[in-house]
Amino acid sequence: MTEDAEVQIEFKGRHDHITERMQAHAAGKLSKLVRYRDRLSRIEVVANHAHKNPEVELIVHQRRGNPLIAKGKSTSFSSTIDLLVDKMEAQLRRLKDKRKDHNAGPSARRAARRAESRARGGTGKTGADDE
Average pLDDT on 22-50 reads: 88
Confidence of residue 130 (pLDDT cuts 50, 70, 90): very low
Confidence of residue 70 (pLDDT cuts 50, 70, 90): very high
Is CATH 1.10.645.10 the right assignment for the domain spanning 2-119?
A: no
Other residues' Cβ atoms within 10 Å of the Cβ of residue 37: 13
More confident residue, 77 or 35: 77
The residue among 64, 60, 46, 56 whose CA lies nearest residue 89 is 60
More confident residue, 5 or 7: 7
Average pLDDT on 67-81 reads: 93
- 1-6: long-range contacts (C-beta < 8 A, 24 or more apart)? 2/27, 4/30, 4/31, 4/34, 5/34, 5/37, 6/37
pTM of this structure: 0.69
Average pLDDT on 18-38 reads: 88
Q: What is the maximum alpha-carbon separation in the chain?
A: 73
Give yes or no for residue 27 having a pLDDT over 80: yes
Report whether 101 contacts 112 (CB < 8 A): no
Give yes or no for residue 57 having a pLDDT over 50: yes
Highest mean pLDDT pick, 4-18, 76-90, 98-112: 76-90
